[in-house]
């Protein structure tokens, strides 16, 4: 199975700052990678699919990039509601797998 | 709008079974896959399997033989039953619909169902 490793585990930032989250796959997943956001007590929400496509209703400050084994989620300027845990997920091969998550916390 | 509403929290003894429901609304139930994912305390998200629009299923190897996913199209509801429960099955279980974007991405998700396995 494909292992997704997210880094850093925790990112401490202030509102207005830029957040850069990484997801590395144990083998190539082409562009078949998604990013989800999960706030405390809520279900995950799809943000980005196929590496760089924003899901419906996702603000433009969220962007995704990468292909193969290295991917990045960038939040250009953090809003208060963006402090959450972010997960990547691959659909390149079975089973579907998720990364361990990056927590973006208030500094 | 599209909604997935899951059944309430459960407490089960080791060796028992649990059946979690996922009632959907706001879209054509038979047009989309339903996925099941769980998250144990302090752990990451783990995909368990999916049920397709025709009722066929794909299960993750870790759950083969213990999980059964079904659906009732008359009430737009999907079910996930996990048998021979162990303490490490304690987790929040989520259902999610396949997204309108590309296959095998999940959106939206249900609110989650906490299953606690304890003697």
pLDDT (tens digit per residue) in A8-42: 999 999 999 999 999 999 999 999 999 999 998 88
CA of A13 vs chain B CAs: smallest distance (Å): 22
Q: If you average pLDDT over residues B31-54, what whole number do you get?
A: 93
CA of B94 vs chain A CAs: smallest distance (Å): 8
What digits encode the pLDDT tens for the residues A79-102?
999 999 999 999 999 999 999 999
Report the percent of chain B where pLDDT is more than 90: 91
Which regions of B17-105 does DSSP assign to beta strands (E)?
18-25, 34-39, 45-51, 57-59, 67-72, 77-82, 91-98
B111 contacts in A (CB within 8 Å)? 42-43
3-state class (DSSP) for residue B3: strand
Whose tokens are 């585990």? That residue is: A9
pLDDT at residue B103 tops 90: no
Residue contact B44–A43, C-beta within 8 A: no
Q: If you average pLDDT over residues B86-95, what whole number do you get?
A: 97
Give the C-alpha separation, B23 to B112, whole Å.
12
A interface mutation test: which of B2, B106, B113, B114 has the most A CBs within 10 A?
A: B106
Which regions of chain A does DSSP assign to beta strands (E)?
4-7, 10-13, 19-25, 33-38, 45-49, 53-54, 62-67, 70-75, 85-90, 97-98, 102-106
Residue B100 — very low, low, confident or very high, per pLDDT cuts 50/70/90? confident
pLDDT for residue A107: 92
Q: If you average pLDDT over residues B68-95, what whole number do you get?
A: 96
Among B94, B107, B110, the residue with its CB nearest the CB of A46 is B107
B interface mutation test: which of A34, A96, A103 has the most B CBs within 10 A?
A: A96
pLDDT for residue A87: 97
Residue B102 — very low, low, confident or very high, per pLDDT cuts 50/70/90? confident
Beta bridge partners of B26: none
Contact B95, B4 (CB under 8 A): yes
A89 contacts in B (CB within 8 Å)? 45, 105-106
């Amino acid at each position: 199975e494909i292992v997704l490793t997210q880094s850093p585990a925790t990112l401490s930032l202030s509102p207005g700052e830029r957040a850069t989250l990484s997801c590395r796959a144990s083998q190539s997943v082409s562009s078949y990678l998604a990013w989800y956001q999960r706030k405390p007590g809520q279900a995950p929400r799809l943000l980005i699919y196929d590496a760089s496509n924003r899901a419906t209703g996702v603000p433009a400050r969220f962007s995704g990039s990468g292909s193969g084994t290295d991917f990045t989620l960038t939040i250009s300027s953090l809003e208060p509601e963006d402090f959450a845990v972010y997960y990547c997920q691959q659909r390149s091969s079975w089973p579907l797998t998720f990364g361990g998550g990056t927590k973006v916390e208030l500094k | 709008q599209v909604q997935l509403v899951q059944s309430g929290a459960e407490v089960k003894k080791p060796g028992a079974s649990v059946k979690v429901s996922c009632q959907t609304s706001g879209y054509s139930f038979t047009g989309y896959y339903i996925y099941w994912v769980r998250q144990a305390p302090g752990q990451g998200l783990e995909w368990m399997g999916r049920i397709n629009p025709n009722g066929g299923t794909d299960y993750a190897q870790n759950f083969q033989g213990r999980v059964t996913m079904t659906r009732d199209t008359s009430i737009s509801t999907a079910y996930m039953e996990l048998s021979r429960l162990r303490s490490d099955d304690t987790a929040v279980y989520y259902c999610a619909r396949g997204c309108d974007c590309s296959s095998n991405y999940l959106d939206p998700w249900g609110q989650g169902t906490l299953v606690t396995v304890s003697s």
